[in-house]
Amino acid sequence: MVEQERRSTDRKVADYWDEHTDETYFGETYWLANPVINRHHQSKAAGGRDYESWVNFSVKHFLAEQCPVERVLSIGSGDGALERHLASINTARHIDGIDLAPKRIEIAREEAVNAGMQDTIHYSVCNVETNPFPLSDYDAIYFNSSLHHMSDLDAILIKCCTALKQDGYLFVNEYIGPNRFTFSDREKEVMQSVFHLIPEKYRVSHAEHDRGQIRKQVHYPDPAEVERVDPSEAIHSEEIVDSLKRHFKIEEFNYTGGTLMQFMLLDIAGNFKESDAESMQILQLIFDIEDTLVASGGLLPHFAMIIARP
């Protein structure tokens, strides 16, 4: 019965992500799709160092002297953007990508061929929690917004620890906030208060259901609906850091923003444009409030770049 339930959940999760291959949460609606917010996020992921992205930071700051390393594994590879990025900067001779969603793997394979990277990047469709990794002795393992989908954090991290070389790296770019976005009253209060600091002209929605309307309040997700739509979504996200500490030595922990912005700017992020100086001032104010509250302990970090070793 347990195995049957597992297979049913796997199918539901795979179907959800196969149906969302076009990344419809991007464009003018998703906070990290905004170029200015994304640069802020990437800078914080690198601990303020001068790197183009968190991927470049992980490779050039930690693996550079060994590159190309022999083997790298990407868990929850999606459409393959991470693996292609890694291949483009000569990270490894052999890059494995694993994902539960067949259509996403199909897209990733096609894109790898289109980029001439098919001899370097190799994909497989499987549930990494119930199946072995393609190989072992990896120089690095990556989770890019995928670890928060794992139902048994300790089990998957033990597998990673075993599969890594003794001097290997685990790179985790993740949502580590409340499970299924069950925000506290305090978090909601701060989000709503900061939201009302935003002038109305920057609160115009780009979502299909209320496009052009001025948002009056933050739209929070319903945890029950989150679970219904994707049973794996943020299932144990708030436990990620503690689980990592049990099985790895954390070399670096960089808060990357988003505690307020993820849902406060949902569907309105596209209103903040570099060509609009006033919108940039408002966005900088949001950065400062969010960063200050997290740094002071007034809010918990919801996103982080974590570098760990066995």
pLDDT at 6: 54
pLDDT in tens, 165-186: 999 999 999 999 999 999 999 9
The residue behind tokens 């291959």 is 21
Predicted pLDDT of residue 36: 97
CATH of domain 2-309: 3.40.50.150
- Nearest in space to 146 (alpha carbons), one of 60, 79, 246: 79
Average pLDDT of every residue of the chain:
93
pLDDT of residue 28: 83
The pLDDT of 147-154, averaged and rounded, is 97
Q: What is the mean pLDDT of residues 128-153?
A: 95
Report the pLDDT averaged over residues 152-165.
Answer: 97
pLDDT recorded at residue 24: 46
Share of the chain above pLDDT 70, in %: 91
Query: If pLDDT is split at 50, 70 and 90, which confidence band does 8 have?
Result: low
> What are the residue ranges of helices labelled H in the chain?
2-19, 35-45, 54-57, 81-88, 102-114, 153-163, 185-195, 223-229, 240-247, 261-264, 277-295
Contacts of 72 (CB under 8 A, 6+ apart): 86, 91, 92, 94, 95, 96, 138, 139, 140, 141, 142
Cβ contacts of 7 within 8 Å, gap of 6 or more: none
pLDDT tens-digit series, residues 24-75: 456 789 999 999 999 999 999 999 999 999 999 999 999 998 999 999 999 9
Whole-model pTM: value is 0.92
Rounded Cα distance, 95 and 89, in Å:
12
